[in-house]
């Protein structure tokens, strides 16, 4: 149990385009979902926390107008990178916490974004 | 500010030995401490969670200790195997569905 999927697993896009990444909890309801970014040889950096039906809470330094997060249901959250630039190229990972859990997070497999 | 430190250098050990990884934190009083495993190009996988009132927790070949006085957690893998080679991340947390702040991780290499 507690499986989280992400789609797509990798994407290559041109500079200036927008990219949407989906995160789904497959067998549980995710009270809270988190979006992280990871650059090579670095640890995960939290970008934002989202709760179903409410606005996401962004970490300091993360542009909310550039990284749009929608948490429309208890099993789906999306991250849209708007007007992507090469410096946005990174590994984006989502995670989800489930109600009744002990605050452990279940991570998706990640999405590799490359902006040309 | 909160700081989480893990050995940045890779830990190389031989198969069958016990691997011990360290996580130190400062300016923080977490109620929980979590350990995750991350393989290259993959998302982290939850391994163990230990509460502040627990000194030790075990799961199969894994053992975690939590010393709130030293502000340190140790993560042990006994009878290590090459398949245990990965990066291990620690993440202190508090109650509720709060965000996790991850350490930089320690890469473990188990050679046959």
Secondary structure (H, E, C), chain B:
CCEEEECCCCEEEECCCCEEEEEEEECCCCCEEEEEEECCCCCCEEEEEEECCCCEEEECCEEEEEECCCCEEEEEECCCCHHHCEEEEEEEECCCCCCCCCCCCEEEEEEC
With pLDDT > 70 as the criterion, what percentage of chain A qualifies?
97
Residue-wise DSSP of A27-83: SS-EEEEEEEEE-TTS--EEEEEEETTSPPEEPTT--TTTEEEEEEETTEEEEEE-S
B89 against B101, higher pLDDT: B89
Question: In the predicted model, is pLDDT for residue B98 greater than 80?
Answer: no
Residues B40, B46, B49, B55, CA torsion sign: negative
What pLDDT digit, counting tens, does each position of B13-41 carry? Answer: 999 999 999 999 998 888 889 999 999 99
pLDDT at B94: 77
pLDDT at B96: 53
Measure the CA–CA gap between A98 and B28, rounded to whole angstroms: 24
What pLDDT digit, counting tens, does each position of B46-74 carry? Answer: 999 999 899 899 999 999 999 999 999 99
Question: In the predicted model, is pLDDT for residue A102 greater than 70?
Answer: no
Do A110 and B43 lie within an 8 Å CB cutoff?
Answer: yes
CA A66 to chain centroid: 13
Measure the CA–CA gap between B58 and B23, rounded to whole angstroms: 17
Substitution target in B25, B37, B99, B102 with the highest count of A β-carbons within 10 Å is B99
Task: Give the count of Cβ contacts less than 8 A between chain A and B.
Answer: 54
Of the listed ranges A40-54, A69-83, B60-74, the one predicted with least confidence = A40-54
Chain B segment 7-66 residues within 8 A of A by beta carbon are 32, 34, 36, 41-46, 49
pLDDT at B77: 97
Question: In the predicted model, is pLDDT for residue B101 greater than 80?
Answer: yes
pLDDT at A89: 96
Do A93 and B97 lie within an 8 Å CB cutoff?
Answer: no
Section A58-64 average pLDDT: 94
Section A100-107 average pLDDT: 78
């Amino acid at each position: 149990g507690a499986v989280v999927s992400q789609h797509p697993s990798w994407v290559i896009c041109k500079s200036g385009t927008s990219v949407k990444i989906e995160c789904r909890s497959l067998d549980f309801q995710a009270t809270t979902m988190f979006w992280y970014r990871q650059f090579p040889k670095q640890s995960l950096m939290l970008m934002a926390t989202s709760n179903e039906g409410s606005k996401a809470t962004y970490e300091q330094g993360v542009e909310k107008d550039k990284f749009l997060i929608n948490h429309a249901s208890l099993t789906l959250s999306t991250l849209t990178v708007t007007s992507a630039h090469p410096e946005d190229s990174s590994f984006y990972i989502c995670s989800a916490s489930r109600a009744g859990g002990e605050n452990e997070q279940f991570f998706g497999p990640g999405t590799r974004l490359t902006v040309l | 500010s909160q700081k989480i430190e893990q050995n940045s250098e890779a830990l190389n050990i031989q198969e069958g030995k016990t691997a011990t990884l360290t996580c130190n934190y400062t300016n923080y009083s977490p109620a929980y401490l979590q350990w995750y495993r991350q393989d290259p190009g993959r998302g982290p996988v939850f391994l163990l969670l230990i509460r502040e009132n627990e000194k030790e927790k075990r799961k199969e070949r894994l053992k975690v200790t939590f010393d709130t006085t030293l502000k340190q957690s140790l993560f042990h893998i006994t009878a290590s195997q090459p398949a245990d080679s990965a990066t291990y991340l620690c993440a202190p947390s508090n109650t509720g569905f709060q965000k996790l702040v991850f350490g930089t991780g320690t890469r473990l290499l188990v050679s046959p």
